Copies of this chain bind each other. A is one copy, B any other.
Amino acid sequence: MDPRRAETGKNSDQIQSGHVYHLALDIGGSLAKLVYFTKNDEHIVGSEKKKSPMKASGISNSSRNSPVLNGRLNFKKFETSKINDCLEFINSMKLHLGGVYKIVMIAMVMNAGCQQPESPGSQTITIKATGGGAYKYADLFKEKFRISLDKEDEMDCLVAGANFLLETIHQEAFTYMGNQKQFVWIDKNDLYPYLLVNIGSGVGMIKVEGDGKFERVSGTSIGGGTFWGLGKLLTKCKSFDELLDLSYRGNNRAVDMLVGDIYGGMDYSKIGLSSTTIASSFGRAISENKERDDYKPEDIARSLLRMISNNIGQISYLTALRFGLKRIFFGGFFIRRHPFTMDTLSVAVNFWSKGEAKAMFLQHEGFLGAVGAFMSSDKHGLKELLANQKVERPPSKLSFSLDQTQVPQQDGELNGDESIECSVYGA
């Protein structure tokens, strides 16, 4: 699937027919993630499904009677090294024009009859941003489009994003094992505490006990950056996605030393290790008279992926056990809904916990920080409203359904450009 097609497809159509009203950024070491809200059409309906003078004037009444804005939450990523593409995208879509308004202000703008904000040249616009790049690229954003990045703490955003998605989005969490994907129903009242494992360049493990209640309790330096860094040195791959694709076709037995290699093809059953268990990652390379280029790059990619996923799964489980956390959610762009990665993480958690714990994944794993930054615009507004709305309205009106037509399938461009149907409403 050509990612360009997705860019010029539904998203831009939506933007032409509707409006962009909110944008947040998460600029990481390797990827810049955008979350923005677009309105589907001009309908502004109150929760009682009728217009009221209060709404028309843009002044909010009680949340029970607030105007509702139907639209989509859109997700988009760029390579951080191509940050100018990201800037151009923001500019071309006029995304940042909505950024000056807090979500509670949306109704006002809407109700003023498509009143346009002032032109971007006339004032400095502020956009919520998180990640290291929010500092690194602040000047670039200011110089090019007079956009000021309002920096939010990375971990705050990560946790806020995960909490929001898990509490609000229907079918956000799922398990994956043996090619079986199974959505998990999360009871909002039984969500906390949980372990959030965010796999970016490195891996952070966060004990989450509630909104704003969290602690980074562990982590490992063996993460996505290790996979891509070592992969780059060991293969001729030009991108992370290419390496990930390769791993899907490889066989780690060419590179890894298995238990059977040591015990003459036998299991070491006394200690419960089968002959196919990896005894030593890359250990077979010791005894063979081969150099790097004598190995197939797909086999190397596969071994790397198994080594790293298995290690993260093991440390995650041990950490969850240590803090008595019964749920482990994996997020971050390393996963990219890649079946083999999820399967290895799941098998590792299953193996080390002897079946007692289950790895869970998030549909929007790569956008936790960006969603958190998006939410941070009005911590006591948007989040609360959505939460209240969920209680006060029938679930069918509020469960945000993932627009599957926007999700490319396993083509190395996973989790790139998608959107969620949703409704927000002004206070």
- Residues of A in contact with B (beta carbons under 8 Å apart): 29-30, 81, 132, 135-136, 153, 155, 200-202, 216, 218, 220-226, 228-230, 232-234, 255-257, 261-264, 270-272, 278-287, 291-292, 295, 300, 307, 310-311, 314-315, 318-319, 321-322, 352
What B residues does A264 contact at CB under 8 A? Answer: 132, 135-136
In the bound assembly, the distance between CA atoms of A246 and B362 in angstroms comes to 42
Assess whether A216 is in contact with B271, with CB atoms less than 8 Å apart: yes
Q: Are A229 and B292 in contact (CB under 8 A)?
A: no
- Tell me the complex Cα distance, A352–B278, Å: 26
Write 13 A-B pairs (CB below 8 A) sorted by A numbering.
Answer: A135-B263, A155-B270, A221-B279, A223-B283, A226-B307, A228-B283, A229-B280, A233-B282, A234-B234, A315-B315, A318-B318, A318-B322, A321-B322
Residue contact B225 to A280, C-beta cutoff 8 Å: yes
B222 touches A285 (CB 8 A): no
Q: Enumerate the 8 nearest inter-chain pairs by beta-carbon distance, A residue then B residue, closest first.
A: A225-B283, A225-B280, A229-B282, A229-B285, A201-B280, A318-B318, A202-B279, A202-B280
Which residues of chain B come closer than 8 Å to A271, judged between CB atoms? 155, 216
Known A233-B292, A314-B315; contact A281-B226, beta-carbon cutoff 8 A: yes
Docked Cα-Cα span, A222 to B308, in Å, equals: 9
CB-CB < 8 A to A300: which residues of B? 233
If A262-B132, A314-B220, A322-B318 touch, does A286 touch B201 (CB 8 Å cutoff)?
Answer: yes
In the complex, are the beta carbons of B201 and A279 less than 8 A apart?
yes
Give the Cβ gap from A23 to chain B, nearest Cβ, in Å.
Answer: 23
Q: Which of B153, B232, B292 contacts A286 (CB 8 A)?
A: B232
Residues on B with C-beta less than 8 A from A318 are 315, 318-319, 322
Chain B residue at minimal CB-CB distance from A318: B318
The residue on B at minimum CB distance from A234 is B233
A352, B218: Cα distance in complex, Å: 8
| Nearest chain B residue, comparing its CB with the CB of A284 | B229
Q: Which residues of B are found within 8 Å of A232, using beta-carbon distances?
A: 285-286
* Minimum distance in angstroms from A361 CB to a CB of chain B: 21
Q: Contacts of A263 on B, CB cut-off 8 Å?
A: 132, 135
Bound-state Cα–Cα, A99 to B228, Å: 52
User: Which residues on the B side are within 8 Å of A234 (C-beta)?
Assistant: 233-234, 292
- Bound CA–CA A281/B281 (angstroms): 16
Q: How far is the CB of A270 from chain B (nearest CB, A)?
A: 7
Q: Which residue of B lies closest to A311 (CB)?
A: B222
**Distance in Å from the Cβ of A419 to the closest Cβ of chain B?**
28
Closest to A308 in B: B222
A198 to chain B, nearest CB (A): 12
Interchain CA distance A278-B229 in the complex, whole Å: 14
Question: How many whole Å from A376's CB to the nearest CB in chain B?
Answer: 16
Instruction: State the CA gap A136–B265 with chains docked (Å).
Output: 11
**B291–A233 touching, CB < 8 Å:** yes
Extra contacts, 17 of them, besides A202-B257, A220-B311 (Cβ < 8 A), are A30-B287, A132-B262, A132-B263, A132-B264, A153-B270, A201-B262, A201-B279, A202-B278, A220-B314, A221-B278, A221-B307, A223-B280, A225-B281, A228-B283, A229-B286, A233-B295, A233-B300
Asked if B280 and A226 sit within 8 Å, CB to CB, the answer is: yes
